[in-house]
Structure 1
Amino acid sequence: MATILCYGDSLTWGAVPNGGRYMKQLRWTSILDELLDKEHQVINFGLPGRTTLWEDPFRDGRVGVTYIQAALETFGPVDVLIIMLGTNDLKRHFNVGAFEAAKGVEKIIEKARMPNSQDFPAPNIIVVAPPNIMSPTGDMAETFSGAVEKSQYFHQHYQNMAMNNDCLFLNAAGVLQASQADGVHLDTNGNKLLAEALEPFVVKLLS
């Protein structure tokens, strides 16, 4: 039985557009577990508001690069690490774009591959470029001001970074769109499509 750690933000955690959390069986991590016939351990370690490496003045404990090594030791040994982060990096108060988000994911990859106190082997890594942000609504319209255009470059920068770091790459925007309800999070169909797109990647790494 292999361990697959899904390291992300609210899109991985299972946030319902405009509030709430999907029931466990509707989250893409659980759907992936089903597609793998529950033969492996798929761990949802998503956290709403998590960034790659930016300290959020409004939310504590959200820096992805800070906690990746602890996560890998907590759940280790981890065979496959799926990283889907960067959406929160595009919040207005960080003032960065997709290029910087990709560099943040690269730092997480570097940390994930560093020696650890348990001598666990480094995991195989799948980098997922987050879906494009589509016309945020409500409070998120202000929070993600300017992010719609910036998110169009996720694919380009993440693909280049993944290739340079010998990781498998999936462009989420190529298989799904963010929910029209809030322009940021995944609807139930988006969760299903993401799981279905990731399943062959995981199978390839475990074969």
Structure 2
Amino acid sequence: MATILCYGDSLTWGSIPNGGRYPKHLRWPNILNDLLGKHHQVINFGLPGRTTIWNDPFLEGRNGLSYLQAALETFGPVDILVLMLGTNDLKRHFNVGAFEAAKGVEKLIEKSRIPNPHGFPSPTLVIIAPPNILSPTGSMAESFSGAIEKSQHFHQYYQDIAAHNKCIFLNAAGVLQPSEVDGVHLDAQGNDTLAHALHEAIKDIIQS
């Protein structure tokens, strides 16, 4: 039995564009679990607003680096760690781009490989470059001002980080785009597409 920990933000948590949360069967980690089979465990540890390494002055507890070790110990031993973070890094008040988001992901990779007090082996890492941001609407339009162009560079920088650190890489922008409803979050089809793409990426390394 493999344990797959999905560590992400609202796109992993299951935010519905413009408000609400999808029922479990429509969130991509749950769909992935169905594809892998019930004898494996896929854990959804997404949190809306989570960043790679930044402290958000408006949202408490969103620094991904601060909580990763606790998550790995809580759910460990973790066989596969899926990291999909960086979208929130592009919010205007952080004033960073895709390059800095990728460097934040690299810090998460390093953190996941630090020996832990329980002797758990380091997980296999899957790095997902977040989908490109479309035209944010509603309450997110101001927060993500300038993020559309920045998000176009996720793929390049994340692929470099994944290759340098010997991680499996998946470019979400290559298989889907966010919902046009709000330009950031995934629709139901996007969740399904991402689950199937990730299944293809990891199925051969998971023992039945």
2:181 counterpart of 1:181 = yes
Alignment correspondent of 2:78:
78
State how 1:10-21 maps to structure 2 within 5 Å. Answer: 10-21=10-21
2 CA distance for matches of 1:20 and 1:55?
24
Aligned length, in residue pairs: 207
Alignment correspondent of 2:138:
138
Alignment correspondent of 2:124:
124
State how 1:43-82 maps to structure 2 within 5 Å. Answer: 43-82=43-82
- The alpha-carbon deviation at position 150 of structure 1 amounts to 0.1
Q: Which letter does structure 1 place at the counterpart of 2:51?
A: T
Moved over 6 A (4+): none
Q: Which letter does structure 1 place at the counterpart of 2:177?
A: Q
- The alpha-carbon deviation at position 205 of structure 1 amounts to 2.3
State how 1:86-101 maps to structure 2 within 5 Å. Answer: 86-101=86-101
2:122 counterpart of 1:103 = no
Alignment correspondent of 2:27:
27
What residue ranges of structure 2 are gaps of 5+ in the alignment? Answer: none
Q: Which letter does structure 2 place at the counterpart of 1:108?
A: L
Alignment correspondent of 1:200:
200
What residue ranges of structure 1 are gaps of 5+ in the alignment? Answer: none
Normalising by structure 1, what TM-score? 0.99
Contact 1:86–1:102 (CA under 8 A) maintained in structure 2: yes
- The alpha-carbon deviation at position 133 of structure 1 amounts to 0.3
1 CA distance for matches of 2:6 and 2:205?
15
For the aligned residues, what is the CA RMSD? 0.6
2 CA distance for matches of 1:44 and 1:77?
15
Residue identity (%): 70
2 CA distance for matches of 1:114 and 1:203?
26
Where 1:110 maps in the other structure, the secondary structure is helix
- The alpha-carbon deviation at position 42 of structure 1 amounts to 0.3
Normalising by structure 2, what TM-score? 0.98
Contact 1:69–1:112 (CA under 8 A) maintained in structure 2: yes
Where 1:61 maps in the other structure, the secondary structure is coil
